Amino acid sequence: MVSTVTATTDTTAASAAMKKSLGMNKDDFMKLFIAQLQYQDPLKPQDPSAMLDQLSQLSLVEQSYNSNTSLNNLLAAQNNAISLTAVSFIGKDVKANGNSATFDGSTSTSLEFSLPLSASSAQISILDGAGRTVRTATLGSCNAGDNSFTWDGRDSSGALLPAGAYTFGIAATAANGASISATTYTTGRIDGIDLSGTTPRLTIGASSVALGDVIGMGV
C-alpha cells in the first residue's frame, strides 16, 4: 500500500534530535543564559557578548537540523511520488531497456531488439534462469531499426519449456563481416510493482524492469 507523505518542516523533531546529539537545544541554552545573568556577581558581571556569541552558534546548529529535516521530508515526498507513478503503470504495456522475457507456459512471447544498421545475418540466443542456452534461432538478414522474434517457448529440440523468466541476446553481422551491437528490449504488460529496493521495479510476470528503464508505454 502506498501512503501519501506531506513535506513539512518539523522543528520539534529537529530540536529533539539536536538535544539528543548535543545535550541541549536553543531553548535550554537561553534558560541557562538568563539564569547566569540573574545570579551573576554584580561586582564581577559575566561578559554577555561571549554568551550571545555561543547562542548565535547554537542557533546556526539548530537551523542546520531544521534544514536536514526539511530535506528528508522532501526526499520522502519525492519517493512517494515515484511510487505513485510506478503504480500507474499496472495494466499498461511497456517497452524498456533490458533483455528479459517472461514465458507463461503456453503463450508465445515477442523478443524485441534494434540494430543501428542492416545486418546480413543475425542469430538469437535464449537463456534460462541459470544462464544455460536453451534455444538458438537463425534470423537471417535484418533491417536497421526495430526487429522482433516470436518465441513459442520451446527449446532447440522442440520441447516446451517451463514458465518463468528468460533472457536473450542477439549476434548480428554486417555485409562486410563486422559485428553489429544490438539493443535489446523487455516488453510486456505490467502486472505489479516491487518497492522493496531503492527504486521501484515493474513486474511483467516472472520478469521485472526498473522504472527508469521504461522508454515507451501503450494503453
> 169: domain CATH number?
2.60.40.4070
- The 10 Å Cβ neighbour count of residue 153 is 22
Do 97 and 177 reside in the same domain of the chain?
yes
CA distance 183 to 95: 12
> Among 53, 87, 121, which residue terminates a domain?
87
Would you state the pLDDT for residue 197?
78
117 occurs within a structural domain: yes
Would you state the pLDDT for residue 111?
96
CA distance 65 to 58: 11
101 occurs within a structural domain: yes
Does the pLDDT of residue 144 top 80, yes or no?
yes
CB of 13 within 8 A of CB of 69? yes
Higher local confidence (pLDDT), 165 or 88? 165
6 occurs within a structural domain: no
Higher local confidence (pLDDT), 38 or 116? 116
Higher local confidence (pLDDT), 7 or 150? 150
The full 3-state SS of 103-130, as one line of letters, equals ECCCCCEEEEEEECCCECEEEEEEECCC
CA distance 129 to 109: 16
Do 127 and 209 reside in the same domain of the chain?
yes
Q: What are the pLDDT digits (tens) for 74-125?
A: 665 556 666 667 788 889 999 999 999 999 999 999 999 999 999 999 999 9
Average pLDDT over residues 137-163: 95
Phi, psi of 39 (to 5 degrees): -105, 15
3-state secondary structure of 189: strand
Would you state the pLDDT for residue 146?
95
Do 127 and 38 reside in the same domain of the chain?
no
Do 100 and 191 reside in the same domain of the chain?
yes
Cell numbers placing 111: 523478443
Instruction: Work out the pLDDT band at 35, boundaries 50, 70, 90.
Output: confident
Number of structural domains (the chain) is 2
Q: Is the pTM of this model over 0.75?
A: no
Would you state the pLDDT for residue 38?
72
Could you list the residue range(s) of the whole structural domain that residue 35 is in? 11-87
CA distance 171 to 149: 13
